Amino acid sequence: MDSHGKNHQKEHKHDDDDVSLKPVTLSKYSKRVELKTLLERSDRGVGLVGKRVVIGGWVKSSRAVKKDSPPPPQPPVASAVTPPSNSSNHQASTTANISCTEMIQSKMNIFRKLFDVLSGGGKTYPIFDKPELAAHKTAKPPEYVIYFMISDGSSVSNLQVVVDSTMSSVPATQLMALGTCIVAEGVLRQPMAASTKYVIELEAEKLLHVGTVDPEKYPLSKKQLPLHILRDFSHFRPRTTTVGSVTRVHSALTLASHTFLQYNGFQYVQVPVITTTGFGEMFRVTTLLDGTNDKEEKKHVREKDGFSIDTVKAAIKEKTKLIDHLKRSDSNREAVVAAVHDLKKTSDLASQLEMKQKPKAATLVKPEKLDFSKDFFGCEAYLTVSGRFHLESYASALGKVYTFGPRFVADKIDNVRHLAEMWNVETEMAFSELDDAMDCADEFFKFLCKYLLENCHEDMKFIAKRVDKTITSRLEATSSNSLLRLSYTEAISVLQKTTTRTFETKPEWGVALTSEHLSYLTDEIYKGPVIIHSYPKAVKPFYIRLNDDKKTVAAFDLVVPKVGVVITGSQNEERFEILDARIREFGFTSEKYEWYLDLRRHGTMKHSGISLKMEHMLLFATGLPDIKDAIPFPRNWGKLNN
């Protein structure tokens, strides 16, 4: 290639790299533009001024300015965007039309907003006339210019949207409510006010959709709620900026996990959630606990005037839709009240029917007295605590495999590090030993940290500001340094030598390391993540390979500050006789694990694997203090929402 061609290629590449020259990109499978493509450009969107776009999102905040008189006629297209060179003239003419009273009202609105933010609230204070004053006016209702801050979930950043109140038939007070969904079409322009921190805004020319909310019932409209309160409204909490950012980081971690494993030659395998094998406290899956197998009794019972529970529930849905329609169509109050009263009567009837169909307490059967041969699967079944059992069978054929799915633990524990349902990334590797598994965990963990730093800059910056200021430096240090490895015996020795700390559980060889022990090692002694390996055989599951000393097993934990164990791993027992003996040693029957033992009878090999706890990894990556905020819909002891 000649020098001219090379220079031309370099210039072309430079143009591609200059994001300000790229056109507006529509969201895939939608006719709107995602805010991320507008606001996360290198020029923050200035290069798109004058472009016509459609955006959709939810109102994060709003304010209104009353128009004293109709604006002068605008040119067809040029008025949509004010050129930068003339922005000062336009602003001056606009200011001239604002009355002294209006300026005072606007300033008062700003002071009110400032006071509300400082006091923790989230209200808006539009300058609408009081109803009793408006009633005396004979002229048409006042008109407003409404300024919305809109979020569509694609980015931390919000877009300011300027809307004329006459564009919508929805009353301005309802239009401005927090949580209202708006789809608007308009032209991007630079803000008129020079003091604003935003470099572009959308001047809306039409509203294509308005999804209203009821401010009295919408939980996010009253005030800014702390994370533990938001858990009671898990179907709404992703609309908050913090939970939205955490969710995007969670998504990035999932993608990074698949990327790392696929790149390193692992095959993705789906493993069952319902299983016959496992260990520890497990959730039982059965259809026998209603105390009857009589199919006739399971049919929908006809009660009260021939109504069935299914018919009544269907009626409730229809009547609920009718009430929503009446409210949206501004129907008279009497019609809405009558419809609500009718719905209540139908709901009461449904409750009565459900009570009559519930089995009596005396008919409930204890699990140990159940005949599982008559159960749905014809045997005892549980929700799985680990996918590595089933992964072993595929590793015995494909070499390196992994899976990603929910895991269930029925321990009655309620603390900031425990959930009944958690999601794990699990691997199994044929012809692999303990050191190989530790190498995999080390590289996997550091890859995830580096991936977030390179691909989630805006979200990580926001989370660092809102949740934990040390996040970025912690991830950078972790991604660039080797992880220290020490044996369980060495860890116990370090704990025993400390003279400045008293532990609730005394650190003696043979006891399981508690969260208090692990926190001291990572937070105080080593001040960073460590890998602890070679645990006593009594504190780890039966399937882990017994070491030559006959006292320890080939297991490890990757432990991080403030969180605890993020990755567990082990080399599993491939020797038939030893595994069979270990099963009986733990009090299990060999018959239950026949298929697992079969893998040792036929073509066995050394193998190992790891399991990454996704929610614990997210805690480390974001600094969140409670694991219930690291999963969209938390399930924990004593509580199940949604």
Give the confidence band of 111 by pLDDT, cuts at 50, 70, 90: very low
Query: Is residue 80's pLDDT more than 50?
Result: no
Phi, psi dihedral angles at 545 (to 5 degrees) = -65, 130
Reference 54, options 81, 76, 25, 97; nearest CA is 25
In the prediction, which pLDDT does 96 show? 38
CB atoms < 10 A from the CB of 10, how many? Answer: 10
In the prediction, which pLDDT does 131 show? 46
CB atoms < 10 A from the CB of 588, how many? Answer: 14
In the prediction, which pLDDT does 154 show? 95
In the prediction, which pLDDT does 277 show? 85
Which of the residue ranges 280-284, 357-361, 433-437, 439-443 would you say has the lowest mean pLDDT? Answer: 357-361
pTM greater than 0.85: no
Residue 398, amino acid: L
Backbone Cα Rg of the chain: 31
Output the 3-class SS for 71-115: CCCCCCCHHHCCCHHHHHHHHHHHHHCCCHHHHHHHHHHHHHHHH
Max distance between CA atoms of the chain, in angstroms, equals 95
Token pair in block for residue 550 = 């006959």
Which of the residue ranges 138-142, 381-385, 449-453, 533-537 would you say has the lowest mean pLDDT? Answer: 138-142
In the prediction, which pLDDT does 295 show? 46
In the prediction, which pLDDT does 215 show? 87
In the prediction, which pLDDT does 22 show? 61
Give the confidence band of 195 by pLDDT, cuts at 50, 70, 90: low
In the prediction, which pLDDT does 367 show? 64
Q: Where do the H-state alpha helices sit in 264-381?
A: 295-298, 309-328, 333-357
Q: pLDDT tens, 484-503?
A: 999 999 999 999 999 888 99
Reference 569, options 535, 604, 528; nearest CA is 535
Q: pLDDT tens, 598-642?
A: 999 999 999 999 999 999 999 999 999 999 999 999 999 888 877
Query: Is residue 196's pLDDT more than 80?
Result: no
The three-class DSSP label of residue 399 is coil
Q: Which residue has the higher pLDDT, 225 or 622?
A: 622
User: Strand runs (DSSP E) across 114-266, as ranges?
Assistant: 143-151, 159-164, 181-189, 201-211
In the prediction, which pLDDT does 351 show? 77
- Give the mean model confidence (pLDDT) for residues 312-335: 74
Query: Is residue 329's pLDDT more than 60?
Result: yes
In the prediction, which pLDDT does 76 show? 43
Q: Which residue has the higher pLDDT, 93 or 246?
A: 246
In percent, how much of the chain has pLDDT > 70?
A: 78
In the prediction, which pLDDT does 622 show? 96
Burial 27-53 (b: 16+ CB within 10 A, else e): beeeebbbbbbbbbbeeebebbbebeb
- Give the mean model confidence (pLDDT) for residues 457-479: 94
Q: pLDDT tens, 507-522?
A: 999 999 999 999 999 9
Q: pLDDT tens, 30-60?
A: 999 999 999 999 898 899 999 999 999 999 9
In the prediction, which pLDDT does 133 show? 45
Give the confidence band of 130 by pLDDT, cuts at 50, 70, 90: very low
Cα separation values, 228 from 243, 563, 625, 640, Å:
12, 18, 10, 14
Give the confidence band of 139 by pLDDT, cuts at 50, 70, 90: low
- Give the mean model confidence (pLDDT) for residues 11-36: 70
Give the confidence band of 364 by pLDDT, cuts at 50, 70, 90: low
Reference 440, options 606, 265, 604, 301; nearest CA is 265
CA quadruple 106, 170, 186, 244: dihedral positive or negative?
positive
- Give the mean model confidence (pLDDT) for residues 69-87: 40
In the prediction, which pLDDT does 451 show? 97
**Which residues make beta-bridge pairs with 559?**
530, 565
Give the confidence band of 115 by pLDDT, cuts at 50, 70, 90: very low
Query: Is residue 359's pLDDT more than 70?
Result: no
Token pair in block for residue 534 = 């070679």
Cα separation values, 149 from 61, 198, 211, 519, 571, Å:
5, 11, 15, 42, 53
Q: Which residue has the higher pLDDT, 556 or 302?
A: 556
Residue 369's H or E segment, with its range, is none
Q: Which residue has the higher pLDDT, 219 or 132?
A: 219
Q: pLDDT tens, 157-194?
A: 999 999 998 888 888 888 999 999 999 999 999 998 76
Averaged confidence pLDDT in the chain: 83
